[in-house]
Amino acid sequence: MLDLVIRNGMVIDGTGSPRRLGDVGVRDGRVVVVGEILEEALTEVDATGLVVAPGFVDVHTHFDAQVFWDTTLSPSPLHGVTTVIGGNCGFTIAPLEPDGGDYLMRMLARVEGMPLASLQEGVPWSWRTFGEYLDTIEGTLMPNAGFLVGHSALRRMVMGERSIGEFASDKELHEMKKLLAESIEAGGLGFSSSWAKTHNDAEGNAVPSRHASERELVELCSVLRDTGAVALEFIPTVERFDESVYQLLTDMSVAADRPLNWNVIFANARQADVIEEKLQASNFAARQGGRVIALTAPMPAESRLCFESGFLLDTLHGWAEPMALPNAQKLALLADPVRRAELNEDAQHPSAFRGLARWERLTVGEVTKKDLKHFEGRTIGEIAEKLGQTPWDALCEIVVADDLKTGLYPPAAGDNEESWALRQALWNDDRCLIGASDAGAHLDFLATFNYSTYLLAAARDRELLSLELAVHKLTDAPARLYGLKHRGRIAPGWWADLVVFDADKVAPEEVEVREDLPGGAWRLYGEAVGVHHVFINGEQAVEDGRFTDARPGTLLRAGRDTDPVTAIG
């Protein structure tokens, strides 16, 4: 007898092949037959009128801390995600020096938007090695999960406070390489790092990985070459690429003999030339035996700014230190007409992010004080005109009155027909991989955790991709890039990570605020429409939009749960 049969579904196997009507049978966590099944099963699901697809694979998450307080890794499985990869951008919480938890949690709170109270109350900080971290969460999670080894954690472990502001000595680099090799041997899937100017720690300083030399990056990548590691992930810059960036990405990939993916492209027709310039990194690397892939988000860029966290605002000229101030000092600065005028003058300085300082275009989202509720849904420009103030002064007075907690929303970038055409081209470009959800991070800033159901809905409603190709982009494509053994397809012998959904209805629900984090903190959260069932390793994890009690996820370790991957495929 089979453990599970999903009957009468439209099976889309993940390879891009045409759909076919049939049944899927599962035993011991794996698919054993696809086709007509006469045999009975302990559990039977009628999928008439529904699609049966492989579980979605999200390669860019930051669930490293959430694994301790929310083992479902919500909301991702509600959107059909059955496998997640964490440890991106160099931000892991292992390896961990004996007194290193405080620095790492404050860094994560600042750079990845994880509430400090949640990190303090919800994470035990009880391990030292990367292997001990993996052992701590083995067998506890709902989805399958694998983790890269983060550069900032390595640097902090070896160099301590010198990791900020100094290059590594030869001895320190040797120790980092040794520690990285040990972490991969314990199961780390690869290496991640960042030079992004948006990545600053709790003191407003560039995070440790941003102080690394090119030599350090390439030397660390070389550690992967003779290991079971499968991936490199890196953010070279958030600004334009030039030949020096192309060469660094290439050198990293070639040194490791692994594909490297960089983060992130949000499609905007106004930036089409810049995007193509960045994609030339793939062509450049291919000519030298490397492989470089861009992650691209399937939706327009929508974000929530907040002066309390200061994330992204700290990229404005001269704003890094002010946005790192304690709340009381930040409030005093914004309440002082002279000092806030100086801050606004700095914000107008030419820079890549100067567009953020067009205050009149921001819309007031959520406020916490009742007497400010009448501002919700209105632009700062409208409010300023009504009050007879400049937009900057009107903004500051609202933010100060709301104790810095006001949610402010810039206009969505890239939500026009030209940008949608560019998005479609990127989805079909072999130099790109759809992903970059950032799930588990930026909990008050981004809601891109729903990228999978967003893609399916957009592909359908705008006729941008066939359903078969959309499923392929969410399943087999990322699974093959990361060498995930027997995952990403529906085929006999492959793991039974399965999603049953209504192709005509699948979509993200509206995003809401949910107060469910340790320490009383809140996050942006959203469920899905049209996802009926999610199975992970043959066990039902989601039923009709609700989590079950199952925790069937495999902790993915390099070598054991991956096939070999090289830069040339």
Question: What percentage of the chain carries pLDDT values higher than 70?
Answer: 99
Query: What's the start-to-end Cα distance of the chain, in Å?
Result: 39
For 294-339, give the secondary structure using H, E and C: EEEECCCECCCECCCCCCCHHHCCCCHHHHCCCHHHHHHHHHCHHH
Residue 394 pLDDT > 60 = yes
Calculate mean pLDDT across residues 454-459.
Answer: 98
Residue 314 pLDDT > 90? no
Give the model's confidence band at 523: pLDDT under 50 very low, under 70 low, under 90 confident, else very high: very high
The model's pLDDT over 267-306, given as tens digits with 9 standing for 90+, comes to: 999 999 999 999 999 999 999 999 999 999 999 988 889 9
* CA–CA dist 255, 569 (Å, integer): 15
pLDDT at 88: 98
pLDDT, residue 180, reads: 98
The model's pLDDT over 2-48, given as tens digits with 9 standing for 90+, comes to 999 999 999 999 999 999 999 999 999 999 999 999 999 999 999 99
CA-based nearest residue to 212, from 284, 149, 162: 162
Residues 502, 507, 512, 515, CA torsion sign: positive
Cβ contacts of 364 within 8 Å, gap of 6 or more: 375, 376, 377, 378, 379, 380, 383, 398, 406, 407, 408, 409
How large is the average pLDDT for residues 72-101?
96
- The DSSP 8-state label assigned to residue 258 in this structure reads S
**Mean pLDDT to the nearest integer, 97-114:** 92
Label residue 352 by pLDDT band (50, 70, 90): low
Q: What gap in Å lies between CA 149 and CA 147, rounded to an integer?
A: 7
Residue 178, helix vs strand vs coil = helix
Q: What is the pLDDT of residue 412?
A: 86
Q: Note if the pTM is more than 0.95.
A: no
Q: Side chain identity at 159, as an amino acid letter? A: M
How far apart are the C-alpha atoms of 38 and 44, rounded to whole Å? 12
What pLDDT score was predicted for residue 342?
A: 95
Q: Domains along the chain? A: 56-302+413-484 (3.20.20.140), 313-409 (no CATH)
**DSSP assignments along 206-226, one per residue:** BPGGGG--HHHHHHHHHGGGG
